[in-house]
Amino acid sequence: MSNWNTIHQEVGQVARDAKNPHDTIRHRYLSNFHSRTGRNVVAYYSGWLQKTGPQFSNIIGINDEDKNGFMACFHSLDWSLGLDLFIHSPGGSVAATDSIIHYIRSKFGDNIRVFVPQLSMSGGTMIAMCGREIWMGTHSNLGPIDPQYGSQPAHLVLQEFDRALKEIKADPDKIHVWRPILSQIPPTFISSCENAISWSADIATEALKSGMFASAKSADRKIKKIVDYFSDAKMHKNHSRHIHRGECEKIGLKIKSFETKQEMQDAILNVHHAFMVTLMDTQAAKIIENHTGIFQMKSIGARA
């Protein structure tokens, strides 16, 4: 297996002969993975761990512009071969997440395997749920699907609003403490947060119902248990909580382990490290790429 360091060295070696060595290395390992599985391979990678700060929020998260990258990568593929989707994402727009899941399903039906080599959070977790199975390593994590509305966690907004009402009801003088906070909540914001929470749960429910549990007995009960768990903001305590593979298996998701076959684990992590090296070494902030070498890359400033 090539680890992060060896792939970084490999980029340096290729740089002597290639104009864009990072592109060459990524394509090499995506192509190798396709040769191993015989399935279509698409990687959807965000550089949110490298490009930090609010100035990057519009580019690193899931958004409607990403659909163009998927359209480019799906064009001319043999959809009957199914899809192996690699995802590394912090989440993003609920609407864009819903639309991307619908588009992926329109091309590949439920013949989708999702690979999470490191992190797939929030909306990324919902996209992972559209797979008939999710591949994870001991180091891999999904995240809660409680949505962010604007820049605020919707569940926490409702939780704090409910706390304010209870404290004011118990002691009317508390209104003086809460007034500066409550005055910052714009009209319709509470209802919008409630709708975002409900919508996220609906997206996850439909993704699981039409894929992973399409033919399962007692599917509704199993799906509700999973969606309730991933939507439970009070239990998870933080939108960025990392949910480990064992927890995902225990709650009922159909999980495959990287570690079952060493050659498969090596092939998965080679793809992952190739993308992470690109995101660390270059201006790239998001990459959507398939095994034929077609990709869309969003960069911060000029491309490195």
In the predicted structure, residue 147 carries a pLDDT above the cut 90: no
Residue 171 has pLDDT above 70, yes or no: yes
Q: Are 18 and 127 in a shared domain?
A: yes
Note the pLDDT of residue 302. Answer: 43
Give residue-wise pLDDT tens across range 195-221: 888 999 999 999 999 999 998 888 999
pLDDT, average across residues 67-93: 96
Domain that holds residue 136: 1-143+242-304
Q: What is the mean pLDDT of residues 154-162?
A: 84
**158 and 282: one domain?**
no
51 & 174 share domain: no
Helix H, strand E, coil C: the string for the chain is: CCCHHHHHHHHHHHHCCCCCHHHHHHHHHHHHHHHHHCCEEEEEEECCCCCCCHHHHHHHCECCCHHHHHHHHHCCCCHHHCEEEEEEECCECHHHHHHHHHHHHHHHCCCEEEEECCEECCHHHHHHCCCCEEEECCCCEECCCCCEECCEEHHHHHHHHHHHHHHHHHCHHHHHHHHHHHCCCCCCHHHHHHHHHHHHHHHHHHHHHCCCCCCCCCHHHHHHHHHHHHHCHHHHCCCCCCEEHHHHHHHCCCEEEHHHCHHHHHHHHHHHHHHHHHHHHCCEEEEEEECCCCEEEEECCCCC
Mean pLDDT of the chain: 91
Tens digits of residue pLDDT in 276-288: 999 999 999 999 9
The verdict on 137 and 59 lying in the same domain is yes
- In this predicted structure, what is the pLDDT of residue 303? 42
The model's pLDDT over 242-300, given as tens digits with 9 standing for 90+, comes to 999 999 999 999 999 999 999 999 999 999 999 999 999 999 999 999 999 999 999 98
Residue 236 lies in a domain: no
Q: Do both 274 and 304 map to the same domain?
A: yes
User: Is residue 82 scored above 70 in pLDDT?
Assistant: yes
User: Residue 263: which CATH number?
Assistant: 3.90.226
Domain shared by 1 and 69, yes or no: yes
Residue 119 sits in the same domain as residue 91: yes
Of 165, 200, 230, the last residue of a domain is 230
Number of domains present in the structure of the chain = 2
- 249 and 291 housed in the same domain: yes
Q: Does 101 share its domain with 184?
A: no
The average pLDDT across 61-81 equals: 96
User: Looking at the domain assignment, is residue 252 inside a domain?
Assistant: yes
| 30 and 134 together in one domain | yes
Q: Of 175, 195, 230, at which residue does a domain stop?
A: 230
Whether 46 is in a domain gets the answer yes
**What is the model's pLDDT at position 143?**
96
pLDDT of residue 184: 87
Residues 289, 169 within the same domain: no
- Let me know whether 87 and 183 are in one domain: no
Q: Is the pLDDT of residue 234 over 70?
A: yes
